[in-house]
């Protein structure tokens, strides 16, 4: 099978490209390298012992995409902006890139005769006040332009599957964390804002201390609860979802563990795994945070037998290995 992965030089994309190569598939990556890293793909090829193709460009570049899509069996669309806070100050950039980019990609797919798509969606389509755990039937109500841009993408895909012969699966990611166990690839955000990368930076002294954004929430220990899922489990979910594309129509799955962890529990896991206490200070709540986000993963388990296997300690252990073996991430 020939797979095209948009955003394949990014954190999730690079781990997915590795799994596809290891499964024997041919892989074409389209990435504008605004967030992705060439070094990540070089290491992916090294780990897989096989090459992948890279086309540097924007998914909205119609001629380039129609050419890239030649002979492709399935598209995995991960290229997107994903910073909730940034989307609040620059919503038009998120709708242009995330929603507009998907619309353009769909046009290119129609032109190229490619009709199978896996779409990277997000738990950010849900809003504050949604009842936990979150199922695929929980009414969405995004609290940010980022979440809205992704929800609009889901709705576009539903129409494309209804009006064209497109077959699509939307995967709503919860909180991806961790790294490939080799320690050769991992998360390298140029401006890290997520919890686990910031914990690692506090542990290695890249920042003096982690700021815990709020310890006064109505949760067992006062800090926010999230559904962290190991990147390798998230990648496994994509490999399972590809099999779904044999069936016509549109499919939607929440991809989480169903096991929430608080910020304090992540700090405890980091101490267990590294033997070091994470230096932290309690700070004010972060705008836009909700007290709890946790998936009900039962539909994916019932339909396809998928279940995330790795626990929080393994997530932190693999993230720590990546960060200590690659201080500062990938060389530019
Ligand atoms: C997790 C918890 C913070 C940093 C975001 C996106 C989501 C998805 C994953 C794309 C929160 C707390 C964090 C820090 C802290 N991305 N925290 N100190 O916000 O749940 O989800 O990333 O799909 O769409 O919204 O993840 O890791 O930023 O925060 O206390 O320095 O850690 O308040 O409670 P989040 P996060």
Q: Map tokens 């594309």 to a residue.
A: 245
Give the tens place of pLDDT for each residue, 206-248: 999 999 999 999 999 999 999 999 999 999 999 999 999 999 9
- Measured in Å, residue 43 CA sits from the centre of ligand 1 at 27
User: How would residue 75 be classed by pLDDT, with cut points 50, 70 and 90?
Assistant: very high
- Measured in Å, residue 141 CA sits from the centre of ligand 1 at 18
- Measured in Å, residue 147 CA sits from the centre of ligand 1 at 14
Give the tens place of pLDDT for each residue, 268-282: 999 999 999 999 999
Closest ligand 1 atom, residue 266 Cα: 32
Give the tens place of pLDDT for each residue, 175-196: 999 999 999 999 997 778 899 9
Mutate to test the pocket of ligand 1, among 203, 207, 286, 291 (most ligand atoms within 8 A of CB): 286
Strand partners, 122: 173
pLDDT at 263 over 80: yes
| CA pair distance 293, 316, nearest whole angstrom | 19
For residue 85, the model assigns a pLDDT of 86
Strands 225-226 and 261-262: antiparallel
Q: Which two tokens stand for residue 180?
A: 């490939």
- Measured in Å, residue 12 CA sits from the centre of ligand 1 at 16
Q: Is 126 a catalytic residue?
A: no
Asked whether the whole model's pTM tops 0.85, one would answer yes
Nearest CA to ligand 1 atom 2: 195
For residue 287, the model assigns a pLDDT of 82
At residue 320's C-alpha, the angle toward residues 146 and 82, to 5°, is 5
Domains in the chain: ranges and CATH:
2-177+228-255 (3.40.50.720)
For residue 330, the model assigns a pLDDT of 95
Task: From 200, 179, 191, select the one nearest 322 (Cα to Cα).
Answer: 179
Catalytic option among 94, 119, 126, 146: 146
For residue 332, the model assigns a pLDDT of 80
Q: At residue 292, what are phi and psi to the nearest 5 degrees?
A: -145, 140
Strands 210-213 and 116-122: unpaired
Length of the chain measured in residues: 332
Nearest CA to ligand 1 atom 32: 195
pLDDT at 36 over 90: yes
For residue 189, the model assigns a pLDDT of 78
For residue 292, the model assigns a pLDDT of 95
Q: Map tokens 């991992």 to a residue.
A: 186
Contact partners, residue 232, CB within 8 Å, separation at least 6: 15, 178, 180, 181, 310, 318
Region 33-54 average pLDDT? 97
Closest ligand 1 atom, residue 286 Cα: 33
Mutate to test the pocket of ligand 1, among 78, 197, 207, 213 (most ligand atoms within 8 A of CB): 213
Residue 134 buriedness (CB in 10 A; 0-12 / 13-18 / 19+): buried
CA torsion angle 290 312 22 105 (round to 10): 0
- Measured in Å, residue 204 CA sits from the centre of ligand 1 at 20
Nearest CA to ligand 1 atom 13: 195
For residue 252, the model assigns a pLDDT of 98
Residues with CB under 6 A from ligand 1: 82, 84, 122, 124, 173, 175, 193-195, 198, 210-213, 224, 226, 263, 286, 289
- Establish whether the linkage from the previous residue to 188 is cis, with ω within 30° of 0: no
- Measured in Å, residue 194 CA sits from the centre of ligand 1 at 5
Give the tens place of pLDDT for each residue, 88-146: 999 999 999 999 999 999 999 999 999 999 999 999 999 888 999 999 999 999 999 99
User: How would residue 56 be classed by pLDDT, with cut points 50, 70 and 90?
Assistant: very high
Nearest CA to ligand 1 atom 27: 194
Region 72-97 average pLDDT? 95
């Amino acid at each position: 099978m020939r797979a095209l992965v948009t955003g394949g030089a990014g954190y999730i994309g690079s781990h997915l490209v590795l799994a596809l190569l290891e499964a024997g598939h041919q892989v074409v990556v389209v990435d504008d390298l605004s967030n992705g890293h060439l070094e990540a793909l070089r290491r992916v090829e090294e780990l897989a012992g096989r090459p992948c193709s890279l086309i540097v460009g924007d998914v909205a570049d119609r001629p380039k995409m129609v050419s890239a899509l030649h002979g492709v069996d399935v598209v995995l669309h991960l290229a997107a902006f994903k910073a909730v806070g940034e989307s609040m100050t620059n919503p038009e950039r998120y709708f242009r890139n995330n929603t507009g980019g998907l619309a353009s990609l769909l046009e290119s797919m129609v032109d190229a005769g490619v009709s199978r798509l896996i779409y990277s969606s997000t738990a950010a389509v849900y809003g504050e006040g949604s009842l936990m755990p979150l199922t695929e039937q929980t009414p969405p109500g995004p609290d940010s332009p980022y979440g809205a841009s992704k929800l609009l993408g889901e709705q576009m895909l539903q129409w494309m599957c209804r009006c064209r012969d497109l077959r699509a699966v939307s995967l709503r990611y919860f909180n991806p964390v961790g790294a490939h166990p080799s320690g050769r690839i991992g998360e390298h955000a140029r401006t890290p804002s997520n919890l686990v990368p910031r914990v690692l930076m506090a542990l290695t002294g890249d920042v003096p201390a982690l700021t815990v954004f709020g310890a006064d929430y109505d949760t067992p220990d006062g800090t926010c609860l999230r559904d962290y899922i190991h990147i390798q489990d998230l990648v496994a979910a994509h490999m399972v979802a590809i099999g779904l594309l044999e069936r016509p129509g549109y499919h939607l799955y929440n991809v989480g563990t169903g096991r929430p962890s608080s910020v304090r529990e992540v700090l405890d896991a980091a101490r267990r795994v590294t033997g070091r206490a994470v230096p932290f200070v309690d700070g004010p709540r972060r705008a836009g945070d909700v007290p709890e986000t946790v998936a009900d993963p039962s539909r994916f388990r019932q339909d396809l037998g998928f279940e995330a296997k790795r626990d929080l300690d393994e997530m932190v252990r693999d993230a720590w290995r990546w960060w200590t073996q690659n201080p500062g991430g990938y060389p530019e």
